[in-house]
Chain A
């Protein structure tokens, strides 16, 4: 039990620091977004392109997995489609620049290259499917 508690407190400390820093970053970034900006984005960019941009933004976004959630909640409140949100969540984690290089080290350059391409295709299709099914 002591081992479990020690593990829990160690992970909590580490996670809260990282999530706290990530939250600060995501909320600061959210402060640049307003309803008019999202409306303009929705009117000027078609849904497939919104999904593609979302996954590309996800790919280059820094930080741990959970930091996007406050930003996603803001976008959701402003009426951004679920397809775009799914593309952002998936894009953020499927391939990260840092893991790309780790995978080159372990498996050679072809493995992450193919995974990057496949992730782009699969995430795009998932975003489109969600748009048709939910939005």
Chain B
């Protein structure tokens, strides 16, 4: 059984682990799992519906934006491009693992690590697939504020990385 579990994809392993932890938590909590599901049925349906919209948005971005789009615009190796890097990060859909091949390629081509940090920051903290969740649960103003804040955070992260690297440089 353990061998079969090991052969599963990362998503399935995480999913199964979360279900097991939920069952264990419900055993020590005040409500059992069925009561939790029943009392939150509306939230569950809403989130699952929003998830489907999120997948729809990711699919559109995946097929509309060419694969080399992000590589093309991040090749410009100047700190002034921290903003562009953050913006491109925000536009890149998918889990963080999906962008590591792009990041590694850019690194090999000599792109500044500060720009890569801005790109990773933008990609992780906000993204197209988050729109339905954040607009649906907290409103449009919250999401617009988060996008603006994320742009500032990405640029700040890149600048800080550059500053710290002067006293604690990267490995060669």
Contact = CB atoms under 8 A, between A and B. Distances in A.
B36, B56, B104 interface centre (most CB from chain A within 10 Å): B36
Interface string B148-163: 0100110011001100
Interface in B1-59: 11-12, 14-19, 21-22, 25-26, 29-31, 33, 36-37, 40, 43-44, 47-48, 51-52, 54-56, 58-59
A68 to B, nearest CB: 10
Contact of A31 (B31, B107, B164): B31
A134 B37 CA distance: 33
A100 B22 CA distance: 25
A102 interface: yes
Interface class of chain A by DSSP: helix
Interface of A: 4, 7-8, 11-12, 14-25, 27-32, 62-67, 69-70, 72-73, 76, 82, 85-86, 89-90, 93-94, 96, 99, 102, 106-111, 114-115, 117-119, 121-123, 125-126, 129-130, 134
Interface of B: 11-12, 14-19, 21-22, 25-26, 29-31, 33, 36-37, 40, 43-44, 47-48, 51-52, 54-56, 58-59, 62-63, 95-97, 100, 103-104, 107, 113, 117, 120-121, 124-125, 129-130, 133, 137-138, 142, 145-146, 149, 152-153, 156-157, 160-161, 164-165, 168-171
